[in-house]
Amino acid sequence: MTPNGAAAFALVAVLAAILGDAVGLAAAGLIVAAFAAIETGARSWAALRRAVLVMLPLAAFMLVIWAGIVGRSPSEIAAGVPGSRTAALAYVAGVAARLFVVVLLVQVVTLRFAEGTPFGLIRRLYLPLGAKRVVVVTLSLIETLRQSIDRAHTALIAGGIVTRTLSLRNAANGWLLIQTVWLTAITTVTARLRDKWPVESTLALLDPALDGAERRLAVRDMVWIGLALAALVIAAAR
């Protein structure tokens, strides 16, 4: 399978998961499950675990807001009818299920290419170089934030302000982590922009490193894209 085929498959499958009703969503979910089992293999369990970890708090939050506080679904509010918590619950379940499928899909598709490096994957994508640069800089910013979180966390623990494990002190002082993370991230980016990048023209090095897109789809790509299109047709027809 090629990265371009995987990207096209993911795009179509996301549309199917978002646009359809329960049957369309089930079709999209089945195809994502099949992709995970056949293409990504055992690594899919990690993707599944992460998708649950991401979606559970979000679903709980939506449940509290819609079923607990509002007590009606958005369509009932729009229609001006009294509504019910059951309808609100069904609404939350639908949204959470769609997001779960999308989060899982993005991860299994990414993990399908886990053997390679991010640059290797991006290089093979059939995209303009400018778009590839944007993807690389976005990944770089995400990594900078991750490193900043780690460093700020260490600083606050070493300073005795928070602890590594759950504690009352964390509840009282945890908000400092957010500010410290931003301070660390800004310093990191500033140091790069001020000293390293102007001397090296580092961004210009990206073009040769990312040049060399694949232009053809594999047969395997066609099969998966075809299946995703079928799910999209089912979703659109209902």
Residues lying near other proteins in the complex (CB under 8 A) are found at 117-120, 136-137, 139-140, 143-144, 147, 151, 153-165, 167, 169, 172-173, 176, 179-180, 183-184, 186-192, 195-196, 198-206, 209
SS3 call for 210:
helix
Q: At closest approach, how far in Å is the CB of 124 from other proteins?
A: 13
Separation between Cα atoms, residue 60 and residue 97, nearest integer Å = 13
Separation between Cα atoms, residue 109 and residue 113, nearest integer Å = 7
The residue (of 48 and 183) whose beta carbon lies closer to other proteins is 183
Q: At closest approach, how far in Å is the CB of 155 from other proteins?
A: 5
SS3 call for 82:
coil
Q: At closest approach, how far in Å is the CB of 153 from other proteins?
A: 7
The residue (of 194 and 238) whose beta carbon lies closer to other proteins is 194
The residue (of 68 and 116) whose beta carbon lies closer to other proteins is 116
The residue (of 45 and 61) whose beta carbon lies closer to other proteins is 45
Residue 154's alpha-carbon distances to 53, 62, 150, 188, 211, in angstroms, are 24, 33, 6, 16, 38
How many helices and strands (H and E) does the chain possess?
12, 0
Separation between Cα atoms, residue 213 and residue 141, nearest integer Å = 23
Q: At closest approach, how far in Å is the CB of 196 from other proteins?
A: 5
Q: At closest approach, how far in Å is the CB of 228 from other proteins?
A: 28
Query: Nearest Cα to 51, choosing from 97, 5, 3?
Result: 97
- Count of C-beta atoms within a 10 Å radius of residue 211: 10
The residue (of 84 and 188) whose beta carbon lies closer to other proteins is 188
